[in-house]
Amino acid sequence: MNEPEPRTQRVIDARSLRGLAHPLRMHILEALRLDGPATSARLAERLGESTGTISWHLRHLAEHGFIEEELGRGTRRERWWRAQRAQNVLNTADFRHDPALRGTAAVYVQEILRQQFQHASEASAIEWTGDWLGVGSVSDWNTLRLTPDQLSALLRELFEVIERHTPAPDSEPGPDARPIVLQLQALPRKEPESR
């Protein structure tokens, strides 16, 4: 059995963070990732925005390398856009010395969390039947006490497992395969004031 090729990663730097950390741009990128290539008109209809606004944000995302035009599709007036395949990685510690960038990183992280909550909420509201009934999970392990090194090691192992189950971009899914919402948040929690 062939191992899937690891997805390429793109580390978000200060310039690209400024280009991405806008709720509408993040919605556009998410729509292109989840639903595939689209035109500004289709995205405008889906997101409830004007075509001009969507087009402006599409150009901004393309300038920063998050999306690209799908060549050979559409016309001069109707351009199709697709998300880049790279996985975006943000290390908020990279921006700890710049208050403005810390705020921009916070906007990005908060929007990612909002999108993840929305995905989980929508998926949990569906009444699944057949083989899909009861196979999902919403779990919480809030009794862990780890050092930073232990948490990093745990996350590395979990990412390796997920990567092994991630199909190659050009592979054909099985006939009963569905898109899966898999989320992982591992965040330190502040200790209570009085112990």
Q: Is pLDDT above 90 for 76? A: no
Which pLDDT value is given to residue 7? 60
More confident residue, 69 or 4: 69
Which pLDDT value is given to residue 5? 46
Which pLDDT value is given to residue 156? 94
Q: Is pLDDT above 60 for 195? A: no
Q: Is 68 exposed, middle or buried (0-12, 13-18, 19+ CB in 10 A)?
A: middle
Q: Is pLDDT above 50 for 82? A: yes
Residues of the chain with pLDDT > 70, as a percent, come to 95
Mean pLDDT of 78-90: 90
For the chain, the average pLDDT equals: 88
CA 60 from chain centre, in angstroms, equals 18
One of 3.60.20.30, 3.30.530.20, 1.10.10.10, 1.10.3720.10 is the CATH number of 9-128, namely 1.10.10.10
Q: Is pLDDT above 60 for 26? A: yes
Q: Is pLDDT above 90 for 87? A: no
Mean pLDDT of 72-95: 86
Q: Could you tell me the residue ranges of all domains in the chain?
A: 9-128
User: pLDDT, tens digit, for every residue of 34-59?
Assistant: 999 999 999 999 999 999 999 999 99
Which pLDDT value is given to residue 3? 42
Closest CA to 187 of 158, 155, 139: 155
User: pLDDT, tens digit, for every residue of 133-188?
Assistant: 888 888 888 889 999 999 999 999 999 999 899 888 778 888 889 888 888 888 88
Which pLDDT value is given to residue 193? 79
Which pLDDT value is given to residue 30? 94
